[in-house]
Structure 1
Amino acid sequence: MQHIVNDHILINGQRIAHGIHGTGEPVILLHGTPSSSLIWRDVVPRLTKAGYQVHVYDLLGFGLSERPRDPAVDTSVSAQGPVLEALMNHWGLESAHLIGHDLGGAIAKRLAIFRPALARSLTLIDIVSFDSWPSPRTRELMAAGLEKMITASDADHKAHFREWLLSAVQHKQPYTDGPLDTYLEFISGPTGQASLFQHQISHYDPKHTLEVADRLDELGALPVRILWGADDAWQYPEWAHKLHAAIPGSELTILEDGGHFLMEDQPDEVSRHLIDFLDRQTTRKNRAANA
């Protein structure tokens, strides 16, 4: 498939794939696991058409960014924050609207708490939070020993994770005909299979979200939007309601017929909600400037 990252930069010696699309108010899209910026491919053109400059990138250890050979390289949620800050500096952004999915939402949430001046608004889509992760299924996988999974045959690995990826969506046929094989390629093969466990699954640790759980009320100083798939089998909608209750003034919408990869199932609806929210923040900013 055609990727939406088309440039590269070295950050602390590690290559990060990124891209900029459109002009206007800056928006940063952060993906989660086990996906890449590709998950935003149907959202980006809608945002640019609505007058926003969209910044996308693949997290360190994911997608087209570098998958470090050394398993000791930290690619956790906490470690991804400084990478995002360095990218913002490279892009010349003093602040931006942050939109994060899954792990990307946890990264955006931490940045908005620790560096609030960098966030104009915050949108959280089916994110990991509190101790909502890893899922029971992934906990079993981790308990069985990651080394065993790293050395599994290519056929067994692909069969297992193909089924796992399919569980992230409601609309399975268009997903199978579309990005599924690309997502699977990223986490398979001599590099991808080891990297999945060493730089993604090994860092599935709720300590990164629990660290900020008692500070979520601070996000009430920002406009916050929460979008969630009603059929999310990875992060149940109950977590969306808990987040909503913890963040004063936040807005919550549960989208029907949507799984964990909500942008795959409902790209039009997700884009519509994002644009409505962003437009309201832009209008509010303009009114304040003219007051």
Structure 2
Amino acid sequence: MIDLDTRYLVINGHRIAYIEQGNGTPLILIHGIPTSKQLWRHVMPALPATRRVLAPDLLNYGESDKPLDANVSIEAQSRMIVHFMDALKIDSADIVAHDIGGGVAQLLAVNYPERVGKLVLIDSVCFDSWPIPEFLPLLQPGAEDGFSTDAFIAMMREFMPQGVHDKSAMSDDVIDLYMAPWSTKQGMSALFRNFRRLNPEYTQAIGGELKHLTQPTLIIWAENDVFQKPEYATVLHETIPNSRLVWIKQAGHWLMEERADEVSAHLIEFLGA
């Protein structure tokens, strides 16, 4: 567990929250949906102090601002990460990303290759792997009108444990941690805006470009992921040159909850000090 003070940057008029530790070669950790920078709370303590590790909340997530009219597509989020790096005077960073954060990372690697050193994709959206069927009804305009916040959080309490093999890894306390930003009417509306931007057009558009990536790439995938099907890991691996695929046995989509130690060990081995 990690206890770091949340810091803020203003990017295009919006506050972006992040946590930071260490000094040295920058490493940026990008979460997915519906999580936050807290996804990395068990991973960051294991990473060497010789790395400058930064974990932001994407715009409209976690403790970052939740503007009503902002573009929160993965393409817009990738540009936000570039501005985040600019604000912190980071020319290039290694990128580790999970879920839709992996889509953000792929766009970074394709569109801003000089900004990405090594790339790690963990149970990442890719190609046409998303949005997952469970989220499709939530993509419709006005879908949130059918929920009270209590009813919505109750639904998410049923959903989140589906993403772990060991159900004890997704305890009520963990769910509370991830649901905290969404537990008000305004927060729930923000999450539904994020749902409505779950569009595979961007990952499909760059699918053919992945074969030109030059960054050393590690793909980590849970064998029991029911949200991002394991066959997509194989396709990613076959598409991205200079990539390595690692399987995590008896684990689900929320790998950082179930197997933080194993994930951390693979990161340290691949990324180095």
TM-score (norm 1): 0.89
- Preserved contact between residue 4 and residue 38 of structure 1 (Cα < 8 Å): no
What's 1:122 paired with?
119
Q: 1:234 aligned to 2:227?
A: yes
1:196 to 191, 197, 215: 191
**TM-superposed deviation, 1:175:** 2.5
Residue-by-residue CA offset, 1:73-127 (whole Å, 9 max, x unaligned): 1011010112111111121111010111111111111111111111111000001
Q: How does 1:22-33 map to 2 (within 5 A)?
A: 22-33=22-33
Residue-by-residue CA offset, 1:142-191 (whole Å, 9 max, x unaligned): 3xx34133441222111111111121222322421542111122222122
Task: Name the CA distance, whole Å, in 2 between partners of 1:3 and 1:79.
Answer: 29
2:93 to 74, 77, 96: 96
- Preserved contact between residue 5 and residue 57 of structure 1 (Cα < 8 Å): no
What's 2:58 paired with?
59
What's 1:288 paired with?
none
Instruction: Give the letter aligned to residue 132 of structure 2.
Output: S
Q: Which has the larger radius of gyration?
A: 1
- Preserved contact between residue 2 and residue 42 of structure 2 (Cα < 8 Å): no
- Preserved contact between residue 36 and residue 59 of structure 1 (Cα < 8 Å): yes
Instruction: Give the letter aligned to residue 154 of structure 2.
Output: A
* Higher helix proportion (structure 1 or 2): 1
Residue-by-residue CA offset, 1:5-29 (whole Å, 9 max, x unaligned): 6111111111100122011221110
Task: Name the CA distance, whole Å, in 2 between partners of 1:167 and 1:119.
Answer: 32
What's 1:147 paired with?
142
Identity of aligned residues (%): 36
Instruction: Give the letter aligned to residue 265 of structure 2.
Output: R
Tell me, what secondary structure is at the counterpart of 2:225?
coil
Inter-CA distance 2–25: structure 2 relative to 1 (3 Å threshold): closer
Aligned residues: 273
- Preserved contact between residue 138 and residue 195 of structure 2 (Cα < 8 Å): no
CA RMSD, 1 decimal: 1.6
- Preserved contact between residue 138 and residue 192 of structure 2 (Cα < 8 Å): no
What's 1:15 paired with?
15
Q: 1:73 aligned to 2:79?
A: no
Residue-by-residue CA offset, 1:199-246 (whole Å, 9 max, x unaligned): x10001000111100101111x11000001111110011010010011
What's 2:41 paired with?
41
